[in-house]
Structure 1
Amino acid sequence: MTHDVLIIGGGSAGYAAARTARDEGANVGIIDHGPLGGLCILRGCMPTKTILRSSDIIALIKRANEFGLSSVSPKANLSAIIDRKARLIGEFADDRIQALKDSRFTLYEERARFVSPHEVQVGTQTLTAKAFIISTGSVVSRIPLPGLEEVGYITSDEALELRDLPESMIVLGGGAVAVELAQFFSRIGTKVTLIQRSRHIMSEGDEDLARPVEARFREEGMTVYTNTQLHRFTKNGTQKVAHFTHDGQEKTVMAEIILQALGRRPNIDGLHLEAAGIKTEKGRVVVDRTMRTNHPHIFAVGDVNGLHEIVHIAIEQGEIAGWNAMHANDSPRRYDDRLKTQVVFTDPQVASVGLSERECRRENISYMTASYPFNDHGKSMTLGETHGHVKLLADPLTGTLLGAHIVGPEAAELIHELIAVMYFYGTVHDLMRIPHYHPTLAEIITYPAEELLGRIPK
């Protein structure tokens, strides 16, 4: 065997798997053709959050009069925003590259492809291992819409490198990437039109979480079309034109640039999974809760298995696979999505943990729910951040929390109290017993908890 464990892909999931396997005594090889760093650092979480900080600040400055301050007319310098992003991302990437090149690993900066269930071709070498962990991430989906390829578009990859501010932009999609970038460009001066097929943006979640974000978008001047059907794309001079149906009416929208943000897909191109007999389904590598594929010595973690496109979950999956790869004869570690957490960094932010209402209905899980709005909460009113609400889902007999959802100010931070309570299988009783300082945003959690507490049978 060349190595005990071979990791294909050195992003967040792959590095977590490599580190864990190494700590369990493995001789670990990492294969990554580059650029090194992984999606989160190079083209995902970190660059988007960096540029969103700039648009959040400019949005606050524009509200100066609301807070009794002299108004100003701020202007965004997109090139300077991208320079700041590039500097920070360079630092983050350097740290990851240094970790990958640690002498305790063997790093192969080449492409890998399977030639059998026990061998991969890496450059001119054939490598073997006791276990393989596939962690190649995801790539932008190419959606076959009539005329779209001909008129041209950018994806999130190119959007993060733009230095000249577009005058107008059509954003296709309503997922996290689409809405975050749509609000960013809208806030710094681009006329943005967002077109979403489903009834509301962020369509995988409950509708009541999306509506406050849509309202904020429209207040800020963005045009938002939901419940649409895209027909075709044409050009009118230098302008790109989207033809679609909205609420039964034919519509056209024209813009300088189209941002295609219709999702991502597992990155399995070129891996020759068929040579190893690795089972896939709808383009994703099929795994069980131990992160094993249909071959017990081959694992797949992170975006490539299509379960969740979320970094902390990818890291958890990587750690599970790294441990299981070295303990084939022991009781395996398993992934449990009871505490699955997701955040969308729009303004207002959207954060969720556990079950949603639609999941409870789909799986016939009994629940009760209560919510409380930020526009009736003292601290959020003093901050001028009154969009959204907190919603709790609990077992109707015991009060055990099943899920929690926040759309509003600092939702990404506030959700962690609820994650902690759910980690310990806490109840609405616990939320009422935990001290909450006044005045804080966090104390809003106690209001829906109190309502639910009153519904539990004595």
Structure 2
Amino acid sequence: MSEPDFDFVVIGGGSAGYAGAATAAGLGLKTAVIEGGREIGGLCILRGCMPSKTLLESGHRAEDIRRAGEFGLRAEYQGADGTAIRQRKRKFVSEFMEYRREQLESGKFDFIRGMAAFVDAHTLEVRLLDGGTRTVTAQAFLIATGSQVQMHEVPGLKETGYWTSDDMLDNEHIPASVVVLGGGAIALELASFYAGVGSRVTVIQRSEQILKETDADVAGALTEALEHRGIEIVRNTKLLRVERGGVGKRVHFTHAGTERGVEAEEIIYALGREPAIGKLQLANAGVTTSHRSIVADLHQRCGPDHIFAAGDVCGPFEVVHSAILQAEIAARNAARTLHRLDSALEESDYRLALFAVFTEPQVAAVGLSEAAAREKHDIVIAKYPFSDHGKSMVHGSTYGFVKLIADKDTREILGASCVGPSASELIHEIVVAMYFRAKATDLARIPHYHPTLSEIWTYPAEELACGQNLTPP
């Protein structure tokens, strides 16, 4: 092969792509980023983390206004201004996009705008956004093209019309009622937003449990809390068809062996996402795939030793911090493969795997679930409810609980879950504890200010430490 154009080429300019390129360039690799989207930023900035959380904040503030009377306050919720909510969201997204654009255009790497496809294991053909094509060769590659909405065939859905999560995030219209198809994190966050601003919400979930990746008690607590807020959640269903109804759109499905129908002004399609890899011609490069996803090992290699993947294209977790860590590891491993870094290949470590859902109440978890922990360890578990926690009562947030999972013999914390107020913040105390391989005994020793939400972790920690030596070392 003739002298390649680059040492390392990243396909995708989102959070993972930028992190991988910046790491590689910092190690002295001649690097390029290829981004094919008309907008720059990646999923998290454009259609994921930031826009969705901006909308959710509006929904949850609306909920607070309606609950003002519980706190002795006189306030009246007079509805939501969809245009103003969208403008606020667009302002933030625009600022984040501009920052990412500056990072990509001023980085110590080339930035190429176009759609890339593999010709062979060392060559890409790039259809440039401003017209024409360009051939790009490299010694190593990182695939970080993110994900897209995964479509499932539902009779009548296309003809009747629907919104995806992408559509909803930039729509100023707030329907009086919505049917949300799906019970995963995206679906439930959308349901939480619409319930917050006053829409009537029905969630239709195929399996018996919402958030099927969580423990049953976690999903059950969230179901109870959302239903208390007025959201109807129908589980264990099978979608049959969609059609125009009397005043809106009607979804037909079976539930417990009986056909049902739910009518609403709008249908929100939230049945999952899939890796955005269909146009990359991965077979030409020998990249390993399975079930429309790239298969990457713990070194982030995905077939050939010089091709790596990170983020939603390969999983196992579709979260931005995990994607960034994978990309940085991939870049360093590429440098090692090219003999620019003299050390052993790194492996991605998912011991501190994080998960959060920004519903109201929130859900968060770290480490092993209860089911996974039981498969690998002899464990002990302790839980404590927010309904018996002083600060939660004052806060007016008493649904949910915290749970600690520890090794039975050593009491090392293996995992934790939280359903309740500020769960996405509270979980990080356990992330830090697990990073240092702390035991429940260690956590029980740590002073917590009273009254605080974080203080709740001391109760399951003390239960798990019961009989252990609590004298400071």
TM-score, normalised on structure 1? 0.97
- Give deviations 1:222-277, integer Å, cap 9, x for gaps: 21111212222222356221111222322110112111100000010110111112
- 23-32 or 186-195, larger mean C-alpha shift: 186-195
- Within the candidate set 255, 280, 291, 1:282 is matched to 291
- Aligned partner of 2:356 in structure 1 is 343
Q: Cα offset for 1:347?
A: 0.8
- Give deviations 1:138-170, integer Å, cap 9, x for gaps: 000001122222222110100001112112211
- Within the candidate set 242, 248, 260, 1:251 is matched to 260
- Give deviations 1:187-237, integer Å, cap 9, x for gaps: 112211110112221111011112222222222222111121222222235
- Within the candidate set 333, 357, 366, 2:370 is matched to 357
- Aligned partner of 1:31 in structure 2 is 34
Residues 368-383 of structure 1: pairs in structure 2 closer than 5 A:
368-383=380-395
Which amino acid is the alignment partner of residue 17 of structure 1? Answer: G
SS at match of 2:153: coil
- Aligned partner of 1:438 in structure 2 is 450
- Aligned partner of 1:72 in structure 2 is 76
Which amino acid is the alignment partner of residue 271 of structure 1? Answer: L
Which amino acid is the alignment partner of residue 96 of structure 1? Answer: R
- Within the candidate set 3, 6, 9, 1:3 is matched to 6
Which amino acid is the alignment partner of residue 404 of structure 1? Answer: A
SS at match of 2:179: strand
Which amino acid is the alignment partner of residue 369 of structure 2? Answer: S
* Cα distance between partner residues in 1 of 2:229 and 2:364: 21
CA contact (8 A) 1:173 1:262 kept: yes
- Within the candidate set 417, 439, 455, 1:405 is matched to 417
Which amino acid is the alignment partner of residue 359 of structure 1? Answer: A
- Aligned partner of 2:216 in structure 1 is 207
* Cα distance between partner residues in 2 of 1:71 and 1:204: 39
- Aligned partner of 1:424 in structure 2 is 436
CA contact (8 A) 1:62 1:73 kept: yes
- Within the candidate set 118, 121, 126, 1:122 is matched to 126
* Cα distance between partner residues in 1 of 2:380 and 2:78: 46
- Aligned partner of 1:161 in structure 2 is 170
- Aligned partner of 1:334 in structure 2 is 347
- Within the candidate set 403, 417, 422, 1:391 is matched to 403
SS at match of 1:243: strand
- Aligned partner of 2:96 in structure 1 is 92
- Within the candidate set 10, 18, 21, 1:18 is matched to 21
The answer to whether the aligner puts 1:55 opposite 2:59 as a matched pair is yes
* Cα distance between partner residues in 1 of 2:6 and 2:19: 17
- 123-132 or 42-51, larger mean C-alpha shift: 123-132
* Cα distance between partner residues in 1 of 2:455 and 2:429: 11
Which amino acid is the alignment partner of residue 54 of structure 1? Answer: S
- 35-44 or 197-206, larger mean C-alpha shift: 197-206
Which amino acid is the alignment partner of residue 236 of structure 1? Answer: G
- Aligned partner of 2:130 in structure 1 is none
Which amino acid is the alignment partner of residue 259 of structure 1? Answer: I
Which amino acid is the alignment partner of residue 101 of structure 1? Answer: E
- Give deviations 1:392-411, integer Å, cap 9, x for gaps: 00000010000011111111
Structure 1 unaligned spans of 5+: none
SS at match of 2:303: coil
- Aligned partner of 1:221 in structure 2 is 230
* Cα distance between partner residues in 1 of 2:303 and 2:77: 59
* Cα distance between partner residues in 2 of 1:400 and 1:186: 40
Which amino acid is the alignment partner of residue 113 of structure 1? Answer: A
Q: Cα offset for 1:13?
A: 0.7
Which amino acid is the alignment partner of residue 292 of structure 2? Answer: G
CA contact (8 A) 2:184 2:272 kept: yes
- Within the candidate set 81, 92, 106, 1:102 is matched to 106
Q: Between the two proteins, what is the percent identity of the paired residues?
A: 48
Which amino acid is the alignment partner of residue 13 of structure 1? Answer: A
The answer to whether the aligner puts 1:42 opposite 2:46 as a matched pair is yes
CA contact (8 A) 2:181 2:270 kept: yes
CA contact (8 A) 1:397 1:456 kept: no
The answer to whether the aligner puts 1:366 opposite 2:378 as a matched pair is yes
SS at match of 2:118: strand
- Give deviations 1:21-47, integer Å, cap 9, x for gaps: 011011110000122101000000000
Residues 179-328 of structure 1: pairs in structure 2 closer than 5 A:
179-236=188-245, 239-328=248-337
SS at match of 2:365: strand
SS at match of 1:144: coil
CA contact (8 A) 1:347 1:409 kept: yes
SS at match of 1:111: strand
CA contact (8 A) 1:58 1:74 kept: no
The answer to whether the aligner puts 1:82 opposite 2:86 as a matched pair is yes
TM-score, normalised on structure 2? 0.94
CA contact (8 A) 2:141 2:306 kept: yes
Which amino acid is the alignment partner of residue 22 of structure 1? Answer: A
* Cα distance between partner residues in 1 of 2:32 and 2:159: 42
Which amino acid is the alignment partner of residue 421 of structure 1? Answer: A
SS at match of 1:51: helix
